[in-house]
Amino acid sequence: MNRETMNTTQTAEPAGAQKGMSDLFEHALRDMYYAEKKIYRTLPRMIRAAGDATLKRALTDHRDETMEHVETLETIFGQIGKKPKAVKCDAIDGILEEGDGLLEDFGGTEVADAAIIFSCQAVEHYEITRYGSMRVFALALGLPEAAGLIDGVLAQEKAADDLLSQVSESQMKMAA
């Protein structure tokens, strides 16, 4: 088999198997549906472990927002005529697993809250990147309502990240 034949053979796909932007958008929805549900189930451990009252309140409020994000994603699934379905997200599983490890290593120490913020900001940054891309995908697909809903979620994720930064800075000033 010559090189030209090998390349053709390796990249050939059956008719109709090509994926497009709508497939990528649906995958992103399923990915974030999984992620948001998993984050929702994980946040109570962080809330219980947090010592700072402001941090506890921020995490509790964000847990409520996270359930709203799940509902928003379900709405978007409906807008595109799809049933809400999650697809396993190895990235968020890894980020949350790392957070669990940090809680084991630093929970109950003087830096426990800093470790929680460190973990939670990793989650927020993941969500911000995903929702930012999803907003662009929705606009490219001519789905302005979905883009608007995603923009609302994105704003909440950015606000949560900003609040975590403020709590962290406040803690560092108090420790100094």
DSSP 22-69: HHHHHHHHHHHHHHHHHHHHHHHHHHHH--SHHHHHHHHHHHHHHHHH
11 pLDDT higher than 80: no
Residue 3 in tokens: 């090189």
Q: Which of 130, 134, 149, 147 is nearest to 69 (CA)?
A: 149
Q: Give CA 41 to chain center in angstroms.
A: 13
7 pLDDT higher than 50: no
pLDDT in tens, 127-159: 999 999 999 999 999 999 999 999 999 999 999
Separation between Cα atoms, residue 28 and residue 141, nearest integer Å: 13
Separation between Cα atoms, residue 31 and residue 105, nearest integer Å: 29
Separation between Cα atoms, residue 98 and residue 153, nearest integer Å: 24
Q: Helices 53-79 and 144-175 sit at what angle, rounded to 10 degrees?
A: 170
Q: What is the mean pLDDT of the chain?
A: 91
Asked if residues 93 and 60 have their Cβ atoms less than 8 Å apart, the reply is: no
- Looking at residue 15, its pLDDT comes to 55
- Looking at residue 148, its pLDDT comes to 98
DSSP state of 88: -
- pLDDT bucket at 172, cuts 50 / 70 / 90: confident
Amino acid at site 48: R
- pLDDT bucket at 14, cuts 50 / 70 / 90: low
